[in-house]
Structure 1
Amino acid sequence: MSQAKLISETFVRPEIEVDEFKRVHHLNPIDVSRLLMDNSQPGYLYAKPPSNFTPSSYLELLRSSLSQTLVHFYPLAGRLKIKAIANSDVQTGSKPILTFQSLIAFVWKCITRARNLNPGDLTTCGLPLNLRPRFNPPLTNEYFGNYAIKAKTTVKVGDLLVNSIGWAATLLNKAVEAQDDKSARDIIKRAMEIGPVLVPPTRTCRSNDVIVASSPRFDVEASKFGLDRLVGYRGGYTNKGEGKVYAYSGSLGNGSMDLEIRLVPQTMAALLLDREFMSFVSPNNAYYDLVSKI
């Protein structure tokens, strides 16, 4: 294991100071509930940069970008391809299943099979959902608070395993579509009635469940500041638990997705022996070659 080498350090301040952005930021009940959770620590691995790349130019681009970002968020700084298969199983008249929902339905089913649970046990799958556009009128995309929840579906293990991917994907789709203005306001109303509840990081996922975090919609290629192509991700150790799945835009491109799946060793071993699961997995040789040299 090679040692990390410090090549530069600097203190980044806002590019300009705007009084409007110094106002107090009030936390909504969903924000308050997550104050005990650790900061996410995703890392991105890139291939060796081109020959004309210089660390000083890269660091200046990064410093400039962070400086512009802090103009808006300085008060908080330092504080706080299975789609076709699934759709073929959907009943006529149902809404088309999104690729992401199809993929997660497939992963949920494969993980549940690898866990070797009793058919009568319950298993839940939760998808991240942005509540901003669900309100009427909708909140703007610039709203800073975390109005995001998990759209959850709970079924018996036996039902999940004997039915098709399309069946599971349809349930996930319905759970997402059920979140409208009324349900979004009910969530906030209940949180206000109960009062602030801090959720400890150890309660982020139960042993029979699959909980998805992050999103493949985030375009990391757009913010690489002159580095070469993206090779892979390192998710860090915070807010992790059995059955936690992190989804990223695929480092292989062409609409692919990279998944970071956290499982206990015996379940992971069974998952890697699952022929159906492995038939849809593409090996990322560039990532393994790079990691082996770290």
Structure 2
Amino acid sequence: MVPRPPLPSVRLISDCFIKPHRLPPQSNHPLHLPPWDLVMLPIHYIQRGLLFPLPPRRLDPGFDRPAFIHSFLDKLKRSLSSTLAHFYPLTGRLATLKRTEPPFYTVFVDCTNSLGARFIHASLDMTLADVLSPKYVPAVVGSFFDHDQAVNHDGHDQSLLSAQVTELADGLFIGLSMNHVVGDGSSFWHFFNSWSEIFQAQEKGTADVVQLSRPPILTRWFPENHPGPVSLPYTNDPSSFFAHPDAPELKERFFHFSTDAIAGLKGEANRQCGTTNISSFQSLTAHVWRCITRASRLPPDQISSCYMNANNRGRLEPPVPPEYYGNMVTPLRTAATVGELLDRGPGWAARQLHATVAEHNDAKLRKWNEEWIKNPHMYHLGRMFDPCNIMMWSSPRFNMYGNEFGLGKAVALRGGQGNKFDGKVSGYPGRDGGGSIDLEICLSPEKMAVLEDDAEFMTAVTVS
């Protein structure tokens, strides 16, 4: 057998650290973190990025590509520095304060002893087609992001934000890795959108100081009866809380669901339940939950769970504005036996998901915070690798394709290796909009093969 040639690898060209020209006075004080932030300490950074084609004229042999890239990187760094002035916690590092009396251990963001956010320039001898054409996401895509397999607790020593620009033969990939303790998916895309907004403004000749259309709200939300800081259940060796589990063997594939396909799933779910209340995403989630569970070939009496991340900003009373920068998400669990999930149909599954979401209210959120402060616990990657469950992450509501950086609309979105496990499903808006949705599904090779042969699942897939 002729050995396969080694896969191309990403080559580091340069890296540096970026800070704003001036940090606000409040950056001199510790930014204490509430439970919804601290619970994220053991999981991976958020890693998302956009793939842009280079305009045809910039592929012309006579075009001065090195000069273009140098100018483009300078503009990215300038706009990143300006954006960080609005999102100053991303310039910091995590720090732990230890005391001899309660609270014994508190983690906060320290912006006074930090180099800033990291900025990386890299290259890869591949084309856009090499990245997008394979059925499964190529492993090299993980190299488009910094902080590979780092957990959020590593933010004590590593940057809380890292931007990597990877040159391809005919395109560019802009990837962000953000510490999940500092913010959730809403916060991640708020920052990405703001960076693009400032880049575009500076391209038009606007001064470095740009007034954002949606300034972030950086003051952290704490329960009224416990304004912080919050004590953590450390011992002298916190390694058991922040272990780095081995990454499982997975196949990652994108499946596209058109507006019409999603409308069909929603219409059928509501028809089966005799209602109009079940949403498009709940209907799609029910469809995926049933099909992945069937592909898992579990016994009928096995309990299967579906987790959906709920944005709590509008559920608190009074509500927290959408611009709140931090973590405001809760994974909502809906459980059923495999038998009832598969036998009772997609409408029944969607109704269970809808009921779980409808019951998620201010009282439950405040109770969760009170109980967590009394008995802190963490989200652990190892506990997410349950082959009986699926978990829906991200949201197709986020503005992902509105980030252009003078390059036009991205051709695709990709994620890094962080927080990938068997049964992880990430929802993204379809590139063409209109309510279409792309799902990035991560499964064991055996389950993925069965899912791809599932007629019910693939009938709803428009393009994959």
Structure of higher CA gyration radius: 2
Q: Determine if the alignment matches structure 1 residue 283 to structure 2 residue 297.
A: no
CA distance in 1, matches of 2:459, 2:409: 25
Query: Of the candidates 323, 346, 370, which is equivalent to residue 189 of structure 1?
Result: 370
CA distance in 2, matches of 1:150, 1:50: 44
In the TM superposition, what whole-angstrom CA distance separates every residue of 1:144-194 from its partner, at most 9, and x where no partner exists?
Answer: 331211111101111110122221111111111111110111111110111
Structure 1 pair 11–100 and aligned structure 2 pair: CA distance change class (3 A): same
Aligned-partner SS, 1:277 = helix
Give the AA of the match of 2:400: V
Asked if 1 retains the 8 angstrom alpha-carbon contact of 2:308 and 2:391, the reply is yes
| 1:1-294 correspondence runs (5 A) | 1-4=7-10, 9-51=15-57, 54-77=68-91, 78-79=159-160, 80=179, 81=262, 82-92=265-275, 96-194=277-375, 196-284=376-464
Tell me the C-alpha RMSD between the 2 structures.
2.3
Structure 1 pair 253–5 and aligned structure 2 pair: CA distance change class (3 A): farther
Asked if 2 retains the 8 angstrom alpha-carbon contact of 1:213 and 1:246, the reply is yes
Aligned-partner SS, 1:129 = strand
More helix by share: 1
Aligned-residue offset at 1:261: 1.0
Aligned-residue offset at 1:5: 5.5
CA distance in 2, matches of 1:22, 1:205: 40
Asked if 2 retains the 8 angstrom alpha-carbon contact of 1:249 and 1:256, the reply is yes
Asked if 1 retains the 8 angstrom alpha-carbon contact of 2:23 and 2:88, the reply is no
CA distance in 2, matches of 1:166, 1:74: 45
Structure 1 pair 229–2 and aligned structure 2 pair: CA distance change class (3 A): farther
Give the AA of the match of 2:323: E
Aligned-partner SS, 1:118 = coil
Asked if 2 retains the 8 angstrom alpha-carbon contact of 1:15 and 1:70, the reply is no
Structure 1 pair 21–223 and aligned structure 2 pair: CA distance change class (3 A): farther
Give the AA of the match of 2:356: A
Structure 1 alignment gaps of length 5 or more: 285-294
CA distance in 2, matches of 1:229, 1:142: 24
CA distance in 2, matches of 1:171, 1:147: 23
- The more displaced of 51-60 and 122-131 is 51-60
Aligned-residue offset at 1:269: 0.5
Aligned-partner SS, 1:125 = strand
Asked if 2 retains the 8 angstrom alpha-carbon contact of 1:120 and 1:156, the reply is yes
CA distance in 1, matches of 2:71, 2:277: 46
Aligned-partner SS, 2:50 = strand
Q: What is the TM-score normalised by the length of structure 2?
A: 0.56
Asked if 1 retains the 8 angstrom alpha-carbon contact of 2:403 and 2:409, the reply is no
Asked if 2 retains the 8 angstrom alpha-carbon contact of 1:245 and 1:261, the reply is yes
CA distance in 1, matches of 2:28, 2:268: 50
CA distance in 1, matches of 2:278, 2:79: 37
Give the AA of the match of 2:446: Q
Give the AA of the match of 2:372: A
CA distance in 1, matches of 2:82, 2:58: 26
Aligned-partner SS, 1:42 = strand
Aligned-partner SS, 1:132 = coil
Aligned-residue offset at 1:200: 2.6
Structure 2 alignment gaps of length 5 or more: 1-6, 60-67, 92-158, 161-178, 180-261
Q: How many residue pairs align between the two structures? A: 281
CA distance in 2, matches of 1:258, 1:222: 16
Asked if 1 retains the 8 angstrom alpha-carbon contact of 2:402 and 2:409, the reply is no
Aligned-partner SS, 2:17 = coil
The structure with higher relative contact order (CA 8 Å, sep 6+) is 1
CA distance in 1, matches of 2:86, 2:283: 36
Aligned-residue offset at 1:3: 4.8
Aligned-residue offset at 1:205: 4.2
Aligned-residue offset at 1:282: 2.6
Q: Which runs of 4+ in 1 moved over 6 A?
A: none
CA distance in 2, matches of 1:89, 1:64: 54
